[in-house]
Chains A and B, each alone.
Chain A
Amino acid sequence: MTVTDDEPRAGQARQQQQPRQKLITGPGILLVWLYGVMVVGAVSRSAVQISTDFGKAPLAYTLSAIAGVVYGFITYSLVRGGETARKAALVCCAAELVGVLGVGAWTLAEPSAFPDATVWSDFGMGYLFIPVLLPVTAVFWLRRARGQSGEPA
């Protein structure tokens, strides 16, 4: 039996049968990988810093931990899939973007508040700017995923 993947209507019909929309196909898998890397990076980094030397830069370490939690939630949402997870991930990506832009500007405006770097310092320069590029890419991907599940984009 031949499956006409190219036809949007066929995809739509199949979509209705599926209980949960997949978010990790195609470019989504790359997003999950990069988010996974950021989870490991941010969580392990803040865990080490908070447990060994929290007094040195409490603000920076707390922000790194928050970043790690946000990344973790987005990764989980992407892997889980479905419309609710997609919306939740979209909200978190927006929060992440606000976070990285806000903290990035904050670290530049008031370096004295940050004796040590956070994941989001200087807009994520220490992480090849992935922290600032990732939410933008993810928002595009998640918005496109809606187009696929509803009417053809």
Chain B
Amino acid sequence: MLVALTVATSVAALALAAWCGFAAYRDQPTKDWHFIGMGVVTLLALVQLIVGVVQLARGEDPEQGTTIFVAYLIGSFACVPAAGFMSLGERTRWGSLTVAAGGVVLAVLEVRLYDIWGG
């Protein structure tokens, strides 16, 4: 596990949460720029998924088990895109708030990933 990458992903996820939370506060739906932001966060999660799998392939072992580690990697990758799709169906402030919640969930998943790896 690259600690720097985990921290970067968490911070990006929280920034996305704040940004979309602000949009919800201003009664706005998610816009193109928000989706670009979601893309960036998702890309970070994807890089982490790849790095995690590579490290497993090298024979490194997560402290709390490989299955759980991989499940959390996949979950953290799918989290923000799933919320993004839901905000496409709900073009109100509530769609924005859903993406904000997705960002918070991702940040929590990152902390859990760190624990599972045993950092």
B86 contacts A32, CB within 8 Å? yes
B69-97 CB contact bits vs A (8 Å, 1 = yes)? 00100010001001100110110101101
Q: Which residues of chain B are near A28, meaning CB under 8 Å? A: 94
Interface residues of B (CB under 8 A from A): 65, 67-68, 71, 75, 79, 82-83, 86-87, 89-90, 92, 94-95, 97-98, 101-102, 105, 108
A152 to B28, CA, bound (A): 26
Interface residues of A (CB under 8 A from B): 24-30, 32-34, 36-37, 40, 44, 48, 52, 128
**Is the CB–CB distance between A26 and B92 below 8 Å?**
yes
Q: For chain B, what secondary structure do more than half of its interface residues adopt (helix, strand, loop), or is it mixed?
A: helix
Q: Is the interface of A mostly helix, strand, loop or mixed?
A: helix
On whether A34 and B108 interact (CB within 8 A), knowing A40-B75, A44-B71, A48-B71, the answer reads: no
**A48 and B68 within 8 A (CB):** yes
- CB neighbours (8 Å) of A34 from chain B are 101
Bound: A128/B111 CA distance, A = 13
Which single residue of chain A is at the shortest CB-CB distance from B75? Answer: A40
Least CB distance from B43 to A in Å reads 21
Complex alpha-carbon distance, A27 and B71, angstroms = 29
